[in-house]
Structure formats: C-alpha cells, structure tokens
C-alpha cells in the first residue's frame, strides 16, 4: 500500500499514525530495548569529528567543536495529538541518549516534515532547554512547522543551496522522498516543486572533513553528483523499504549510494527504533552485514549508541 493511501484511509478512520506504519498489526512490546552502548559526547574533543547514532534518524555529530543533531526524536511515540494522547507508533528501543544526557546542539538539521523526523515535542523540549541558543535548518517550505519556537536562527534550504553556520558549510542535497506532513498537503515528489513541502539530505563540510546525512530517500543517483572531493562519513537510511521502496532505500542501495559518493565510512540509521516497513525489524541490519563486504565503504557503526571518531 502506498504511504499516502494508507494514511488517508487511516486518518479518516480516526486511528491513523502520522507515519506510514500499520502499527496495530505488530505485536505489543512489553519492554523497551535498552541499547548496549551509551555514548559520552561530553568527552568528545573540539579538534576531531565524531558521530553517534541515538536512534531512528537521530544522529549526533561533532565537527571540530560544532555539535549537530539530526531529526531529533526522543519521545516514546510519534504522531498527531488527540484527546487520547499521541496517536502513532511507540518506539521499541530507547534512545541511546536522552535530553538530559545531550550536549547543547549548535545546529539541528531537519530532513523533512514527517512526524518521525520533525517531532514537535522533542523540538519544543530542545528550544525550552536552550532558548535562543540553537540554530535550526529545514527543507524548503517547512519552517512554518518550527519557526515560532525559540531558535537562535531559522534557515530554510532548497536543493543545492548552502549556508555557513558556526564554521560548518551546510548544503541541501536532493533526495527521492515525499515531504508532506499530512496526506492532503502538497509536496515536491507529487510535482509541486515550488509550493510543496520538500525533503533534504545534507552535506556538511568543515576544515577539510565532509559528512553526509542522507535523511530519508529511495535509491537515487543524485548522491553521485556530490563533487569529487572524498566524503568521509555517509550516514544513510537502511530501513522501512518493504512496502515503501518508492521512498525508502534498502541496505544494498544505501551502500551503493555511499560508494557512488566515494564515502570512506558508513553509518546506518532509520531502523531498530520504530516499526516502519513490512520487513522484520532486524532484517535491515542482517542485510547490511551480508552486503558490506561487496562495497568499498566501511561500516563503522552497527548498533545504537556506538561512537565513531574520524581519523
């Protein structure tokens, strides 16, 4: 079933998730999985590049002293609010870091408007904890969702647009994904290039190092168009492809895109947190382990909470 069709029917029925997950068909999770690794970003140095995977598409990056947080989702559920609370899938694994354990991010990157990527309660919590101290960057036609929060600055980038914030150059990168927050909204993939919500990956550059955060995407050759400077770390989605392969890549496709951007190291995300596709929750990692030897990029993180320092 297509994502738009699923959500339209579910919302009309009054029992929708805001992400495309038939969660009611999944077994209930009595206990949340606790990641075996607990990162300690407060020990990270200011003259190196670090990455840790917190959960889903939430990744903490430090590039020479600048702390970047991607698609932060730290709550137990994602979805729209209702009289009965949040309607949507509950996570089955805890985030590797909670808000109290996070260092203050200098920049929050939002790839697109889906509620498992732009989670308003988490963003509100960040801006209330550090009012006027955190910058936010969003995709085209998305700042209406977050612009009223207490950010230091709000930046909206369309594909190939760039901005330098806190000594990091941020370039919006083309992806293949639907960007609407609700099914009735216009989005770029639906043909509304100027008026619809868009989606971004991001290329991050600082002091000769390059990190790519892939956001959400199906396979696309667009990443091969990144200029031929070597990409140091590619952070790419690998889950929710069964049933949604028109908007989500599988692990082999993610590794292929990393090879095509000439990435030295690979960090997976967008799995092991929510039930988002028809595949078994462990299948993306199994496929990644099976395919990694056939690709040039080196997988350096395979579990929530693991840390990687670029050498």
Pick the closest to residue 115 from 148, 84, 82 (CA basis): 82
Residues facing 82 on adjacent strands = 85
- Phi, psi angles (nearest 5°) of residue 125: -65, -40
pLDDT at 19 over 70: no
pLDDT at 301: 98
CATH (domain of 201): 3.60.15.10
245 versus 124: the higher-pLDDT residue is 124
**Rounded distance, CA 125 to CA 122, Å?**
5
pTM as predicted? 0.89
Structural domains of the chain, count: 1
**Rounded distance, CA 173 to CA 193, Å?**
15
pLDDT at 187: 87
Using one digit for the tens of pLDDT, what is the confidence trace for 92-110? 999 999 999 999 999 999 9
pLDDT at 228: 63
Pick the closest to residue 70 from 142, 21, 36, 119 (CA basis): 119
In the three-class reduction of DSSP (H, G, I as helix; E, B as strand; rest coil), residue 254 is classed as helix
pLDDT at 201: 98
Average pLDDT, the chain: 89
Using one digit for the tens of pLDDT, what is the confidence trace for 163-193? 999 999 999 999 999 988 988 999 898 898 9
Using one digit for the tens of pLDDT, what is the confidence trace for 58-96? 999 999 999 999 999 999 999 888 888 888 888 999 999
Using one digit for the tens of pLDDT, what is the confidence trace for 190-220? 898 999 999 999 999 999 999 999 999 999 9
Contact yes or no for 234/98 (Cβ under 8 A): no
pLDDT at 182: 86
pLDDT at 276: 81
Using one digit for the tens of pLDDT, what is the confidence trace for 111-169? 999 999 999 999 999 999 999 999 999 999 999 999 999 999 999 999 999 999 999 99
Q: Is 262 left (phi over 0), alpha (psi -120 to 50) or beta?
A: left
pLDDT at 89: 84
Contact yes or no for 161/172 (Cβ under 8 A): yes
- What residues make up the domain containing 230? 3-26+35-310
The angle that helices 283-291 and 251-260 make with each other, rounded to 10 degrees, is 40
Cα dihedral 23, 26, 27, 30 sign:
negative
């Amino acid at each position: 079933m297509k994502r738009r069709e699923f959500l339209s029917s579910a919302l009309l029925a009054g029992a929708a998730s805001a992400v495309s997950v038939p969660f009611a068909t999944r077994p209930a999770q009595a206990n949340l999985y606790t990641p075996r690794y607990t990162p300690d970003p407060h020990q990270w140095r200011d003259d190196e590049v670090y990455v840790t995977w917190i959960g889903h598409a939430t990744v903490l990056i430090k590039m020479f002293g600048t702390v970047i947080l991607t698609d932060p989702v730290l709550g137990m559920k994602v979805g729209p609010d209702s009289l009965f609370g949040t309607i949507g899938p509950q996570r089955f694994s805890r985030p590797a870091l909670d808000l109290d354990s996070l260092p203050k991010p200098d920049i929050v990157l939002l790839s697109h408007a889906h509620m498992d990527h732009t989670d308003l309660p988490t963003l509100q919590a960040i801006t209330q904890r550090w009012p006027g101290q955190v910058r936010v960057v969003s995709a085209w036609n998305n700042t209406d969702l977050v612009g009223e929060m207490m950010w230091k600055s709000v930046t909206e980038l369309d594909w190939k647009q760039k901005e330098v914030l806190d000594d990091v150059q941020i370039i919006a990168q083309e992806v293949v994904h639907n960007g609407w927050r609700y099914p009735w909204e216009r989005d770029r993939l639906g043909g509304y290039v100027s008026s619809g919500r868009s989606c971004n990956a991001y290329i991050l550059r600082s002091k000769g190092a390059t990190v790519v955060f892939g956001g959400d995407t199906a396979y696309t050759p667009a990443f091969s168009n990144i200029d031929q400077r070597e990409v140091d770390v590619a952070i790419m989605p690998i889950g929710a492809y069964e049933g949604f392969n028109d908007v989500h890549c599988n692990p082999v496709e993610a590794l292929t895109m990393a090879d095509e951007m000439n990435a030295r190291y690979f960090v997976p995300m967008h799995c092991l947190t929510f039930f988002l596709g028809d595949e078994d929750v462990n299948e993306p990692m199994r496929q990644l382990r099976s395919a990694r030897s056939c690709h040039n990029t080196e997988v350096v993180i395979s579990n929530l909470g693991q840390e990687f320092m670029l050498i």
